[in-house]
Structure 1
Amino acid sequence: MIKQIQAFLISLIIATFLVVTHTTATNLIWLQSINMPVDFQLVIATMATDLVDMNSRGAFPVIGLIFVGLLIAFITARIIAIWSSIKAPYLYALAGGAALLAIVALMPMAFYNLDLIAGARTVAGRAYLVVAGLIAGYYFGSHIQKGDSNEAN
């Protein structure tokens, strides 16, 4: 159980890190495209600030949003694992990707068709965020406690 919680928290950190750094990078790329000065020092400082601020401030901290999405997806994957012979890393990778896809697809519906995650404003950005969910889910599926029914197969 402790290993599952630890694996979940690390997968949450992976997904959150990838989402926040992608969002920051897309914002900085846009600023550079309108001839604003963007140098390496600004990129590092902004990424560090955003990793803290986007996860601790605002009405919807990113880590909370991803926490809920991954929790629902991983519980659903666990239920599916009972009746399925799909290997855990692949099953949870699909669940993680589905969680991030749901977040980027459903958020605009809740907020008057606005993409609040800047990185999700393009198809490529959405694809990147889904891949971030796949990576986080794969990590979780690869590191859950062995012997938990057929999850470790």
Structure 2
Amino acid sequence: MIKQIQAFLISLIIATFLVVTHTTATNLIWLHSINMPVDFQLVLATMATDLVDMNSRGAFPTIALIFVGLLIAFVSARIIALWSSIKAPYLYALAGGAALLAIVALMPMAFYNLDLIAGARTVAGRAYLVVAGLIAGYYFGSHIQKGDSNEAN
């Protein structure tokens, strides 16, 4: 059980890191496109600041949104695993991708058609975030312990 919690937390960190750094990168690319000075030092400083601030400040910390999404998706995947022969890494990868897709698709509906995650404002950005969920889910599915009472197939 502790190994599953550890794997879940690491997959949460992976997804959150990818979402936050993508959002920061897209904002910095936009600033550079309008001729704002963006150098390597600014990129590193902004990434570090955003990794802390986007997860600890604001009305909806990114890590909390991803936590809820992944938790629901992974519990659902566990239930599906009881009746499915899909290998755990692939099943949880699909669940992670679905969680991030749900977040980027449903958040605008809840907030007057505003994309609160800046990296999700384009189709390519949304696709990247879904891939981030796939990666996090694959990690989780690859690291759950065999032989535990709550193991996935």
CA deviation string 1:70-103 (max 9, x = no partner): 0000000000000001000000000000000000
Distance between the aligned counterparts of 1:149 and 1:33, measured in 2?
53
Contact 1:81 1:151 in 2 (8 A): no
Contact 1:82 1:150 in 2 (8 A): no
Distance between the aligned counterparts of 1:20 and 1:78, measured in 2?
27
Deviation of 1:148 (Å): 3.9
How many equivalent residue pairs?
A: 153
Question: What TM-score, normalized to structure 2?
Answer: 0.97
Distance between the aligned counterparts of 1:64 and 1:96, measured in 2?
15
Distance between the aligned counterparts of 2:76 and 2:146, measured in 1?
19
Contact 1:77 1:92 in 2 (8 A): yes
Q: Tell me how large the CA RMSD over aligned residues is.
A: 1.2
Aligned to 2:41: 41
Deviation of 1:110 (Å): 0.3
Contact 1:15 1:135 in 2 (8 A): yes
CA deviation string 1:101-134 (max 9, x = no partner): 0000000000000101000000000000000000
% identical aligned pairs: 95
SS of aligned partner of 1:37: coil
CA deviation string 1:42-90 (max 9, x = no partner): 0000000000000000010000000000000000000000000100000
4+ residue segments displaced more than 6 Å: none
Contact 2:78 2:152 in 1 (8 A): no
Distance between the aligned counterparts of 2:85 and 2:16, measured in 1?
29
Distance between the aligned counterparts of 1:150 and 1:54, measured in 2?
32
Deviation of 1:152 (Å): 5.5
Deviation of 1:149 (Å): 6.5
